[in-house]
């Protein structure tokens, strides 16, 4: 059995504008928040996390604001996030991250799920195109509607069509919550490999919240679970 290769952020060539997209419930928010924290930690540059999720009423990046801000990551949140408003409105401040004056900084966009969530991203597509961007497609084989690479690829195409933007890399975030075992992630190598073939996109990393795992085919980005635990224990 091989060794685990860890994801090397500094040599990843990630551009400064990073849109984190994916199918509904694939774990985009967890990836986006962890990526923002790691960018801040490893590059020391200013990092802004933008919550663009207009789909999910609960569990969102706004839950992690305190942790992000104490680590020096600026947060731009929809107005009324985590209140009783069904449709969060996106603040004009978002445009500031596209400014020339923000050139030596990172902006990580946590985009809502499926093509519905990608519609919000599309509103900024011209600004993304001007600055150059990376658009990550986060996917999980253990979500009910994306058990195969072919089905997952359909979601990717829908997100690209709706946003008017192109995905640049894949993130394999296949996990089964508390039932995730050490062999779980590596068992999805075939799935993500096939999706990579279908889409012609590289796999940026496979993400894991477990530390002790069987080595998967791709570099591993070890993450913390930022999802709030509502019932303790």
DSSP for 15-77, written as a single string? -SEEEEEESTTS-HHHHHHHHHHHHHHHH-S-EEEEEE--S-SSS-GGGGHHHHHHTTEEEE-
Hunting for tokens 């490999």 — which residue is that? 193
Spatial distance between the Cα atoms of 1 and 15, rounded to a whole number of angstroms: 33
Taking CB under 8 A as the criterion, the residue among 11, 44, 178, 212 binding another protein is 178
Q: Quick one: tokens of 213?
A: 């795992």
Among 34, 140, 163, 207, binds another protein (CB under 8 A): 140
Tokens of 142: 């253990």
Among 9, 12, 46, 59, binds another protein (CB under 8 A): 59
Across the strands, what pairs with 75?
Answer: 49
Shortest gap between Cβ of 218 and another protein (angstroms)?
20
Q: Is 1 in the site for another protein (CB under 8 A)?
A: no
Measured from the CB atom, the residue of 1 and 231 that comes closer to another protein is: 231
Interacting stretch for another protein, rule CB under 8 A, among 9-17, 33-41, 44-52, 174-182? 174-182
Binding residues for another protein, total number by CB under 8 A: 25
- Stretch near another protein under the rule CB under 8 A, chosen from 4-12, 101-109, 136-144, 206-214: 136-144
């Amino acid at each position: 059995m091989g060794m685990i290769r860890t994801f090397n952020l500094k040599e990843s060539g990630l551009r400064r504008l990073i849109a984190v997209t994916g199918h509904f419930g694939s774990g985009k928010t967890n990836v986006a928040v962890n990526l923002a924290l790691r960018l801040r930690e490893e590059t020391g540059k200013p990092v802004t996390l933008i919550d663009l999720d207009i789909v999910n009423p609960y569990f969102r990046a706004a839950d992690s604001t305190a942790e992000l801000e104490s680590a020096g990551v600026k947060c731009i949140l929809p107005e009324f996030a985590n209140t009783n408003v069904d449709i969060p409105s996106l603040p004009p401040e978002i445009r500031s991250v596209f400014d020339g004056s923000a050139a030596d900084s990172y902006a990580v966009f946590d985009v809502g799920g499926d093509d519905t969530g990608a519609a919000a991203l599309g509103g900024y597509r011209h600004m993304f195109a001007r600055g150059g961007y990376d658009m990550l497609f986060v996917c999980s084989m253990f979500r009910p509607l994306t058990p195969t690479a072919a089905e997952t690829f359909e979601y990717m195409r829908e997100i690209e069509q709706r946003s008017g933007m192109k995905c640049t890399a894949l993130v394999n975030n296949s996990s089964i919550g508390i039932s995730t075992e050490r062999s779980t992630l590596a068992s999805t190598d075939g799935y993500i490999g096939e999706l990579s073939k279908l889409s012609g996109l590289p796999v940026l990393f496979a993400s894991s919240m477990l530390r002790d795992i069987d080595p998967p085919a791709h570099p591993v980005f070890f993450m913390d679970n930022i999802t709030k635990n509502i019932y303790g224990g």
